[in-house]
Amino acid sequence: MKNSVIYGIVGLFLSILFAYFIWQDLEYLSLFPAGLLAIYFAIFQTEKLFIAIAFFTPLSINIEEFNSSFGLFLPSEPLLFGLMLWLSALQLHRSFMPKNLWRQPILFSVGIFLTWIFISSITSSHSIVSFKFLLAKLWFIVPVLFFGIHFFQKEKNRIAFIWLFIISSCIVVIYTITRHAMYAFGEKESHWVMSPFFKDHTIYGAIIALNVPLVFGLYLYKKHAPLIQAVIIAMIVLILAGLYFSYTRAAWLSVFGCLFIGGLIYYKVNWKPLAGIAAIILLVVLFKWDSIQMELARNKQDHTTESFDERLQSAANISTDASNLERINRWSCAIAMFEKRPVFGYGPGTYAFEYAPFQEPENLTIISTNFGDMGNAHSEYLGALAEMGIIGLLSFLGIVGAIFYTSILVYNRIPLSDSGTRILILSMIMALSTYFIHAFLNNFLDTDKAAVPIFGMCAMIIALGLQQEKLASNPE
């Protein structure tokens, strides 16, 4: 009790000192008590700080917006880096993680992926960039995925993490919609009104789409008190409004896709016939691609419209829609980069530095740049292919496969009597599917906005799987 009082007094003092420096416009001095406060919580309130990461992530701000020298999301990334060091030290001092974790398919596949990132960083065209990319991956994966398994053994931590992430996302939605309303919800303004919390509407739409299954899962998880129920309904309305006014076609399509996947799992539909049908469709597309492309070229619907159905139609417009044409340009560059370096690729995180020379004149659009300074490959899959070669793509696909294999296996093992946990797992599977569907068109796993919720949900699923294994071995 005495120690708790001392810790509380120290925490309060540092909080007051931080607030004072902010009030006096001494932002740089405020970093000192803020750092001490983070260290205090990391040492004495580690579990609470870990869960709080879920709240800080949607609200984190990239200092690159104000200082072009380098990019860092505050406060989430320094906290993740600090937690990685602190928890790793604790693990080495006195192991607290469950044994034989590497038998878990998700962790095993992630280990292979990280190993290949390291190898391809050595052969990278920009080794410093690639090793920085690897370090960033580590401070997302080690604290959130690896050590998250320990924290998510407790049900209250799983629920708190989801609650805090949704609440924080709702705060961003309120901020964005309020700003957007000042411009009469114009399409052009929808690209930047979420700044500084999100870079543009594509990543904003992706994360809001990820929230959709989670907030419905939270509502159905158990019977809530009337006030809590009203709060969740309000969050559902906010999330759906945020999704609609994001004007992000890929996000809308990913939500429809997750509903389909959720239905297949819930009703236990046999996937083998569906896989056969998908293979046939793929073959038809390959052999009839010229005819399909000619048909798509007749679609003149532009994405600048604010109509929901017209924007969905514009997703297939590859004749005049600059956004779609630029994606094709980036994808073509990624494939050409892979053909040039098929085994090791150009190195993790190097696409933006290398794709410019691979742009073909016929693929250039009004938003293309000769310097190739407009970002990534617009696809997690093709980005991995260009930057880390065929092994990089296969290892990333291995992670995706392991995630869905493990999560569906855990879902099916949960007793029907435990309907709340089954609902929660199904909502996480659907949330994960929104992102990996969206990943065909964009790539955001190199940011905290996507990495924290994705790896956090993976850690929850592994933790639940370990609990089921323990119950199976000790039924009493």
| Each residue's pLDDT tens digit, 359-389 | 888 777 776 776 655 678 889 999 999 999 9
User: For residue 5, what are the CA distances in angstroms to 9, 10, 33, 46, 461?
Assistant: 6, 9, 19, 17, 36
Q: What percent of the chain has pLDDT over 70?
A: 79
Residue range 314-334: mean pLDDT, rounded? 70
User: Are 61 and 17 spatial neighbours (Cβ–Cβ below 8 Å)?
Assistant: no
Q: Sign of dihedral through CA atoms 372, 375, 381, 386?
A: positive
Say how far apart CA 453 and CA 446 lie, in whole Å. Answer: 12
**Mean pLDDT taken over the chain:** 84
CB atoms within 10 A of CB 362: 7
Q: Which of 183-187, 307-311, 348-352 has the lowest mean pLDDT?
A: 307-311
pTM: predicted TM-score of the whole model, two decimal places: 0.87
pLDDT > 80? residue 205: yes
Q: In this predicted structure, what is the pLDDT of residue 96?
A: 87
pLDDT > 50? residue 316: no
pLDDT > 50? residue 408: yes
Q: In this predicted structure, what is the pLDDT of residue 150?
A: 94
pLDDT > 50? residue 317: no
Q: DSSP letters along 369-393, please?
A: -TT--S---S-HHHHHHHHHHHHHH
Domain ranges (residues) in the chain: 1-47+72-99
User: Are 265 and 410 spatial neighbours (Cβ–Cβ below 8 Å)?
Assistant: no
CB atoms within 10 A of CB 373: 10
Q: In this predicted structure, what is the pLDDT of residue 312?
A: 47
Kindly tell me the burial class for residue 31, based on how many C-beta atoms sit within 10 Å of its own C-beta (0-12, 13-18, 19 or more).
Answer: middle
Q: Sign of dihedral through CA atoms 384, 385, 389, 394?
A: positive
Model pLDDT for residues 132-178, shown as the tens digit of each residue: 999 999 999 999 999 999 999 999 999 999 999 999 999 999 999 99
pLDDT > 70? residue 450: yes
Residue whose pair of structure tokens reads 């001092």 in the numeric block: 93
Q: In this predicted structure, what is the pLDDT of residue 3?
A: 53
- The shares of helix, strand and coil residues in the chain, as percent rounded to the nearest 5, are 75, 0, 25
Q: Which of 67-81, 93-107, 450-464 has the lowest mean pLDDT?
A: 67-81
Q: In this predicted structure, what is the pLDDT of residue 293?
A: 52
**Which conformational region is residue 316 in: left (phi greater than 0), alpha (psi within -120 to 50 degrees), or beta?**
alpha
CB atoms within 10 A of CB 155: 15
Say how far apart CA 397 and CA 113 lie, in whole Å. Answer: 10
Residues near 401 by Cβ (< 8 Å), separated by ≥ 6? 109
Model pLDDT for residues 246-301, shown as the tens digit of each residue: 998 889 999 999 999 999 999 888 777 776 776 777 676 556 555 655 555 555 55
Q: What is the three-class DSSP state of 73?
A: strand
- In a 13 Å sphere around the CA of 228, the CA atoms on its Cβ side amount to 10
Q: In this predicted structure, what is the pLDDT of residue 84?
A: 92
Q: In this predicted structure, what is the pLDDT of residue 1?
A: 46
pLDDT > 70? residue 475: no
Q: Cα–Cα–Cα angle for 349, 352, 358, nearest 5°?
A: 120
Say how far apart CA 426 and CA 139 lie, in whole Å. Answer: 27
**Element (H or E) spanning 270, and its range?**
none
Residues, the chain, total?
A: 476
Q: What percent of the chain has pLDDT over 90?
A: 55
Model pLDDT for residues 34-69, shown as the tens digit of each residue: 666 667 677 778 899 999 999 999 998 887 766 655
Residue whose pair of structure tokens reads 């309000």 in the numeric block: 234
